[in-house]
Each structure stands twice: as C-alpha cells, then as structure tokens.
Amino acid sequence: MFRIKICGITNVQDALTAASAGADAIGLNFYAKSQRFVKPDVAKKIAAAVPKGMTRVGVFVNATADEIATLVARVPLDFVQLHGDEPAALLAQLPKDALLIRAVRCGYEGLAPLARFISECRMHGRLPDAVLIDANASSDYGGTGQIADWQQIMRQREILDGVPLILAGGLTPTNVGDAIGLVHPDAVDVASGVESAPGKKDPHKLREFVAAARDAFLRYS
C-alpha cells in the first residue's frame, strides 16, 4: 500500500518530479470532464516513465467494467480508483490483478453511506482494498481544494472495519501534517494543493508536501 499519492498527473515531467520528491504513487485521471483528464496514450507514456515500484492509480468516474479493464491492461495500472457513483456490484466485475480504491465524499451523513457500501460489497464478494475520503463538493468529483471534515472522519473511523483509509480533500504542504496527526490515515492524496494551475504541478509545493507528509507519518506512526 502506498502512503503519498500525487493525483491528477498529466505529463511525464510532473510524474518524474513526484517520484524524485519521494511520493510513491501517482493518479491518472480518465474522467473526460476533469481539468486533469489524461488521454490513454499519454497515460501509457507517463506510466512507462516512472521508476519501478511507483504505484500507478487510474481514476474513473462512472465508467463501465469493460472500459476500466481495457485501460488497466493498456496503461497498465496497479490500482483502480472509483470516484463516481459506481454500485458495489461493479467491484466484483473488475480485473482481479488491479487493487481497488473506493472514493467517497464526507457529507452531512458522515461515513454512514460508506458503511452501507462496504456491507453491499461483502454481499457481492469483493471489498475495496482501500477507501479514499474526500471533501463534500456537491456534484464535483474531487480536485476542488475543499477540506474534508477531519474531526468527523476521526470520530467515525471504526466504520471502515479495517479497510485502509486514504485521506484527501484540500490537503496542502502546510496542513497535511496536522491532518495526519489528527486522522491517522494510511495514506494521503493531493491534487490541487500542489498545483500552479489545474493539471500542472508546482515542483516546490510538491516537494514541500511530500516532505511534510513523510515527516508526519514518521512522527505519528
């Protein structure tokens, strides 16, 4: 399981900067309406350029099982991140050689919808390998820069029933240490918090974020 994921990578240089900074995962966004959308051929070049051992995560929003399977093999991808309104039944239809992340937004119900989703996953025979908890950003599917409700996530952590937690939502170099200290996630995920513009990473912010996250994981582990 990775610990620090830089999401919304759109070019080889940003991927290499993330790797040199010490991140251990990158996110490639295949949602066409996203400002960080990356075409499959570009994603393949990025995936081939990163060092061996760096985790490649494909981010999907309401894609079909066949569409996801095609990109898992073509890029290739190590993880599939479901960031839309996908039903629990879809997980059992996805390639067994890719690990699964279920992204959810922490809204007024807290993590109760996630508890129901995990229960449904058990019924269908496949649990997510991790859950990513993002801020509640209405109809947007991540990358908004809004901060998730850390207090609520911390209080309801037991709802995850042992499934690893990836914390996202408004993380930056200046607040990621506090977030890790309070929530104690298994990993953190950042996109807009290390950008100079949507889809373009700021090398200085990226390196600061990774350094702060690594330090916090060491201090609070």
Residues carrying an active site annotation: 7, 134
N- to C-terminal Cα separation, the chain: 15
Asked if residue 51 has a cis previous peptide bond (ω within 30° of 0), the answer is no
Tokens of 174: 């200046």
What's 158-199 look like in SS3?
A: HHHCCCCEEECCCCCCCCHHHHHHHHCCCEEEECHHHEEECC
SS3 149: coil
